[in-house]
Amino acid sequence: MLNVPSQAFPAPGSQQRAASGGRSKVPLKQGRSLMDWIRLTKSGKDLTGLKGRLIEVTEEELIRHNKKDDCWVCIRGLVYNVSPYMEYHPGGEDELMRAAGSDGTDLFDQVHRWVNYESMLKECLVGRMAVKPVAVAKGILLKSQVSDLPAKEISPSYDWFQTESLVTIVTYTKQKDMDLESVIVDYQDGSFRAEIIIKDHSYLLYTELSHEIQEDITVHVAEKTGKVEIVLKKKDNISWKYLGHPLENHNSFTAHRDTGLYYRKCQLISKVDVTHDTKLYCLMLPPGTHLQVPIGQHVYLKQTVAGTEIVKPYTPVLDSLYLDLQEPIHPHNKYIYFMMKIYHTGLFTPHFDCLQIGDGVSLSSPEGNFKKSQLQELEELFLLAAGTGFTPMVKILNYALTNITSLRKVKLMFFNKTEGDILWRNQLEQLADKEKRFEVEFILSEPTSEWTGKQGRISLPLLSGFVKRSIENSRVLVCICGPEPFTEQGIRLLKDLNFSKEEIHSFTE
């Protein structure tokens, strides 16, 4: 048997981030859903043709397996026979064939880095490459390799000191735009892990602490200097001789796109109906975790369905639109809310909905390219949402109305199939009544005859009247989110309406 690389943190390429390009699903044949694939992998059928043997694959051998019925693909040094998977691939056979007989790591990363291929394709594993393929196996950039960053950004360092009862770990990032959202801390089973996000890189501290600590960890960030202080409470008031034993990639500075996602187990605290098929779920972070999901970003939720790990992205919302714009009852940094639509024929959501209060769910660190700074000094904000594409708009709406004093107008155009599908309709209408700067319009694609509002799908006539600058050259942002065809069409129409690339932010995979 070969020594297949360990799947421990950071599992090479595991559960990675959504690529910016997005992907299109193709209609799959009857009996070829992901669930059918999982069933096939559990059937005991020999999917590699090697009867469970793992082999060492040379480049010459890999190249030979380049046909649909004999197709091997290498991802991060591991070679899979993907022929049995062809008909089950949501992106279609042609997309998979682009990597036939070659190293598909880059292609895979461009399209769906976060998909947990190790779990999905484990029965298709042929072996590992004899010679490491050209693509970087794990992509850890050491400090000396970070050449595209200004020098002052490439050398974060840490120090630690103690009092009788506390241990303080200090990191000097020398960055001005740091805040509490830039620091993610986890303390689980004696391991302390802190990820400090500095622009598009992560500085990682990962160590098995020399002594036990209490679970309430405090984080301070000095926004002007970028100094990050993580304060640990000792369990016993004794002097520590050293901080701990370094774990994998401790004290490394890595391009964010190359870090595997880190998961922690949260607890389901509540679920409340929002509409006939959508619920608001509240997850509680473990006590040793400090994590705040930035506005406009998403996380990945992971659960095991029929023995296979399934990962899907979700965008946290608030527990309500806070009509009085006051602080939420639950502090942001312990509870995370999700508004999730349950698809009865879906893979992830029916299982998620079966979770009982108190059950555990794995939640990743945040991802996404929306920046709060895009809202600074805006005068007009237009939000175009379809279905659950409303989710990123929730925090944006709340933040914009609460913090952006230059804003004169926030308009939400919300596309749904029927009246019964409109999420938080009452709250939105009440907010519009109360807050003069906010306006909402509902557009239905499958209305009943009683509906007197606007109808149809996204179109130029609908948009041209709605996303209109009230003053020439006003500072504007249009955010758009929904099913892929909706978003793609919306972007095209916005460009036709002369909005620049910088004035459009689309939330895509």
Binding site for ligand NAD (CB under 6 A): 298, 315, 341, 386-389, 391-392, 415-417, 421, 445, 457-458, 481-483, 485-486, 489, 507-508
Q: Which residue is nearest to ligand FAD (CB)?
A: 346
Using the rule CB under 6 A, is 388 a contact of ligand FAD? Answer: yes
Of these partners, ligand NAD, ligand FAD, none, which one is at the site of residue 27 (CB under 5 to 8 Å by kind)? ligand FAD
Contact 253, 140 (CB under 8 A): no
Using the rule CB under 6 A, is 28 a contact of ligand FAD? Answer: yes
Residue 336's Cα: distance from chain center in Å?
Answer: 14
- Nearer to ligand FAD by Cβ, of 252 and 308: the residue is 308
| Tokens found for residue 332 | 């942001």
Identify whether 392 is preceded by a cis peptide bond (ω within 30 of 0): no
Among 171, 207, 315, 365, binds ligand FAD (CB under 6 A): 315
- In this structure, what are the phi and psi dihedrals at residue 366, rounded to the nearest 5 degrees? -70, 155
Give the 3-state secondary structure of 361-410: EEEECCECCCCHHHHCCCCEEEEEEEHHHHHHHHHHHHHHHHHCCCCCEE
Of these partners, ligand FAD, ligand NAD, none, which one is at the site of residue 28 (CB under 5 to 8 Å by kind)? ligand FAD
Using the rule CB under 6 A, is 90 a contact of ligand FAD? Answer: yes
Q: Mark 343-372 with x for binding to ligand FAD (rule: CB under 6 A) and - for no binding.
A: x-xxxxx-----------------------
Q: Which residues within the stretch 262-301 sit at the binding site for ligand FAD (CB under 6 A)?
A: 298
Instruction: Supply the minimum distance, in Å, between the C-beta of residue 314 and ligand FAD.
Output: 4
**Residues with Cβ within 8 Å of residue 290, at least 6 apart in sequence:** 180, 183, 184, 185, 217, 219, 333
Using the rule CB under 6 A, is 509 a contact of ligand FAD? Answer: yes
Q: How far apart are the first and last CA of the chain?
A: 37
Q: Where are the beta strands (DSSP E) in 263-314?
A: 263-273, 278-284, 289-290, 299-305, 308-314
Of these partners, ligand NAD, ligand FAD, none, which one is at the site of residue 345 (CB under 5 to 8 Å by kind)? ligand FAD
- Nearer to ligand NAD by Cβ, of 105 and 297: the residue is 297
Please name every residue paired with 228 in a beta bridge, in sequence order, or none if there are none.
171, 221
How many CA atoms, within 13 angstroms, populate the side-chain half-sphere of residue 54?
16
Which helix (H) or strand (E) is 463 found in, with range?
helix 460-466
**Residues with Cβ within 8 Å of residue 370, at least 6 apart in sequence:** 294, 295, 296, 297, 392, 396, 505, 507
Q: Which stretch binds ligand FAD (CB under 6 A): 71-79, 311-319, 372-380, 415-423?
A: 311-319
- Nearer to ligand NAD by Cβ, of 37 and 348: the residue is 348
Contact 176, 226 (CB under 8 A): yes
The site that binds ligand FAD (CB under 6 A) totals a number of residues, namely 23
Of these partners, ligand FAD, ligand NAD, none, which one is at the site of residue 458 (CB under 5 to 8 Å by kind)? ligand NAD
Of these partners, ligand NAD, ligand FAD, none, which one is at the site of residue 415 (CB under 5 to 8 Å by kind)? ligand NAD
Instruction: Supply the minimum distance, in Å, between the C-beta of residue 350 and ligand FAD.
Output: 7
- Nearer to ligand FAD by Cβ, of 18 and 378: the residue is 18
Contact 299, 365 (CB under 8 A): yes
Q: Quickly tell me which residue has 């090697």 as its tokens.
A: 50
Instruction: Supply the minimum distance, in Å, between the C-beta of residue 138 and ligand FAD.
Output: 24
Of these partners, ligand NAD, ligand FAD, none, which one is at the site of residue 90 (CB under 5 to 8 Å by kind)? ligand FAD
* Amino acid occupying residue 213: I
- Contact residues for ligand FAD, defined by CB under 6 A: 18, 25, 27-28, 90, 298, 312-315, 338-341, 343, 345-349, 388, 391, 509
